[in-house]
């Protein structure tokens, strides 16, 4: 599913998830600040939301 893919992407980038919260409509994670930009870029790319996929 989507959460599984999200966790795989973050793990591939070496980003440790400190906390996870899920509901029917969203999945949130807490990571270290220093990984924020890397995580956002990797997740956008993985889900086709990056500028290159438009």
What's the CATH number where 48 sits? 3.30.70.260
Asked if residues 39 and 13 have their Cβ atoms less than 8 Å apart, the reply is yes
Average pLDDT, integer, range 38-49: 97
Q: How far is CA 7 from CA 31, 35, 52, in A?
A: 12, 14, 22
When pLDDT is cut at 50, 70 and 90, the band that residue 52 belongs to is confident
Domain count, the chain: 1
Question: To the nearest whole percent, how much of the chain has pLDDT over 70?
Answer: 96
Average pLDDT, integer, range 13-41: 97
Q: Across the chain, how many H-helices and E-strands are there?
A: 2, 2
Using alpha carbons, select from 9, 4, 16 the residue that is nearest to residue 46.
9
Q: Domain residues for 14?
A: 2-53
Q: Which pLDDT score, from 0 to 100, does residue 54 have?
A: 58
């Amino acid at each position: 599913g989507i959460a599984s893919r999200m966790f795989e992407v973050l793990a591939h980038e070496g980003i440790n998830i400190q906390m996870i919260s899920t509901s029917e409509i969203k999945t949130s994670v807490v990571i270290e600040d220093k990984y924020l930009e890397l995580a956002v870029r990797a997740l956008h790319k993985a889900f086709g939301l990056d500028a290159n996929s438009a």
